[in-house]
Amino acid sequence: MSDSLALLIRAGHPLILIETTDEDRATATVRATAAALQRKVCDWSLTRGLWELDEQGTPKREHAPPGKPADALKYVLRSGEQTVFNFRDLGPHLKDAQVHRLLRDLSPVCRNLRCALVCLEYLPFPAEASRLVVRYDVGWPTAEELEQTVRDTYRRIQSESLYEVTSHITRSEMDQLVQTLRGLTASEAERVIASAIYQDYRLTGNDLSRIVDAKRQLLGSTGCLESIIADFSPDDIGGLANLKDWLRLRRGGFSQEARDFGVEPPRGVLMLGVQGCGKSLCAKVVASDWNMPLLRLDPGVLYQKYIGESENRLRQALRQAEAMAPVVLWIDEIEKAFASVASDSSDGGLSQRMFGTLLTWMQDHRHPIFLVATANDVSQLPPELMRKGRFDEMFFIDLPDAAARRRILGIHLARRGRDPAAFDLDRLSAAADGFSGAELEQAVRSGLYAAFSRRQELSTDILLEELAKTRSLSAVMPERIAHLRAWARERCVPAD
């Protein structure tokens, strides 16, 4: 039973809106709340009609036929009983004038009878009817619910399978498994667990990697959040000493020990800089070094064609990140998501509303979420985003100096099975003056192709040839980089 939902019903709120993708869990919450309040439950959908449910949730009596929402609402009007009516996907039918009028007529009737009509919606509720309802957030499954889902799924497969199904999982592995499943609906978690069990008809700690992969694929296909593999360490980045020291000091900021000491958890960083200098890599390093999952918010899939759906997707993504906390939330090239905020826009104010939603969340949320935002073009960033308090710090990542270039070249050579000591890194670093980290990596890759085609081993001379062929960004767009440096000089902390 949900105490807050029960309070809404007891207080006489006639129309309650639940917008969620987890229909099964929301329905179970409504039924449990009605049972605790000792009220009947009736369930309606367009395909099944309006049915009264028994204590097990099984339909026992039909009150309105399928395909006729108006008939179902008319029954609610004349029912005269304290009942909780669960209507699934009623929103799209409110364009019908009769259905809309019936919903308005229901409000005083339900209030007098102390009954409630719960609108369970997947799509955004029509704006013209949103003032009639009070919203209730069913939330994401708790750790206890997810653990129960794991146990129930295992028992179900064990009873149904023709093969022997076994489980060898410790308490710590179960806790880690539940933490991995956070941010999924109960049905999604059930599918992920079932897939892991059916691989070898066993559930063990070795299934954690499979579950992580399945969750990554699921998040990538169903929402705006993508789970990213963070397999880097601070040693994999050349330079950026100030940024590394800043992150090292705050490594334990989300721990209970830090809270007991009076330390407020870190909120996030905004990283500005030249393209290809390691801003995105830094987000992965933070997650890996702090041992936290990394989620990437893709701004490109936020914007949808239906009114209200874009804002709803952003709210869902932020709620999902909260459910999976502690996490590192990475918004790459944030200026592209909200570029219209800083200029005249023809999107009807959508960018401003989306930006306002994000700013409000950044200011008010109290979940252990570390936000990493990266940007290349500071001219498109709204000033509200950069004021003190939004982020803990703003770092500027410039082109690497000679020592950093030497370190970066050594890292990329070592990754490809070459001994950095066999190369003249000082000559290579000098020849690569003005190169970004990405351009240095590309030079090493191109050198390997050149050496392979000549059937030779990679050498300093081959790398020097490839560096000479490359036109770096600093040579192609020097004015833009000079402007970026001038802007950041008094506004940002140097990352190196």
Q: What is the DSSP letter of 391?
A: B
In this structure, how many other beta carbons lie within 10 angstroms of the beta carbon of residue 445?
Answer: 13
**Spatial distance between the Cα atoms of 78 and 58, rounded to a whole number of angstroms:** 23
* Of 29, 15, 26, residue with least CA distance to 130: 15
**Spatial distance between the Cα atoms of 147 and 169, rounded to a whole number of angstroms:** 12
Contact between 364 and 330 (Cβ < 8 Å)? no
Core vs surface per residue 268-283: b (16+ CB within 10 A) or e: bbbbbbbbbbbbbbbb
Q: Which helix (H) or strand (E) holds 378?
A: none
Share of the chain above pLDDT 70, in %: 93
Instruction: Using the predicted structure, report yes or no on whether residue 175 has a pLDDT greater than 90.
Output: no
Kindly state the tokens that stand for 135: 């919203």
- Same fold yes or no, 143-222 and 402-476: yes
**Spatial distance between the Cα atoms of 445 and 433, rounded to a whole number of angstroms:** 18
Residues linked to residue 396 through DSSP beta bridges, in sequence order: 272, 494
User: Span 129-150, mean pLDDT?
Assistant: 87
Mean pLDDT computed over every residue of the chain: 85
Contact between 125 and 117 (Cβ < 8 Å)? no
CATH fold of 234-397 reads: Rossmann fold (3.40.50)
Contact between 328 and 290 (Cβ < 8 Å)? yes
| pTM of the shown model | 0.67
Q: What is the DSSP letter of 89?
A: S
Q: Mind listing the pLDDT tens digit for each residue in 399-417?
A: 888 999 999 999 999 999 9
Kindly state the tokens that stand for 256: 């209970």
**Spatial distance between the Cα atoms of 182 and 480, rounded to a whole number of angstroms:** 43
In this structure, how many other beta carbons lie within 10 angstroms of the beta carbon of residue 38?
Answer: 7
Contacts of 444 (CB under 8 A, 6+ apart): 409, 412, 413, 416, 463
Q: Which helix (H) or strand (E) holds 419?
A: none
**Spatial distance between the Cα atoms of 139 and 343, rounded to a whole number of angstroms:** 36
DSSP alpha helices (H): ranges in 53-92? 69-79
Architecture per CATH, 143-222: Orthogonal Bundle (1.10)
Kindly state the tokens that stand for 17: 């809106």
Q: Give CATH superfamily name and number for 3-135.
A: P-loop containing nucleotide triphosphate hydrolases (3.40.50.300)
Looking at residue 295, its pLDDT comes to 86
Range with the largest mean pLDDT of 217-221, 230-234, 269-273, 457-461: 457-461
Q: Which helix (H) or strand (E) holds 66?
A: none
Q: Mind listing the pLDDT tens digit for each residue in 191-207?
A: 889 988 998 899 988 88
Q: Mind listing the pLDDT tens digit for each residue in 418-447?
A: 999 999 999 999 999 989 888 999 999 999
Total number of residues shown for the chain: 496
CATH fold of 402-476 reads: Helicase, Ruva Protein; domain 3 (1.10.8)
Confidence of residue 47 (pLDDT cuts 50, 70, 90): very high
In this structure, how many other beta carbons lie within 10 angstroms of the beta carbon of residue 479?
Answer: 7
Looking at residue 343, its pLDDT comes to 52
**Spatial distance between the Cα atoms of 300 and 171, rounded to a whole number of angstroms:** 40
User: Span 379-403, mean pLDDT?
Assistant: 82
Q: Which helix (H) or strand (E) holds 237?
A: none
Looking at residue 348, its pLDDT comes to 53
Of 223 and 16, more confident: 16
Looking at residue 215, its pLDDT comes to 75
Burial class, 442, CB count within 10 angstroms (exposed 0-12 / middle 13-18 / buried 19+): middle
Task: Delimit the domains of the chain by residue range.
Answer: 3-135, 143-222, 234-397, 402-476
Q: What are phi and psi of 345, to 5 degrees?
A: -130, 150
Contacts of 98 (CB under 8 A, 6+ apart): 70
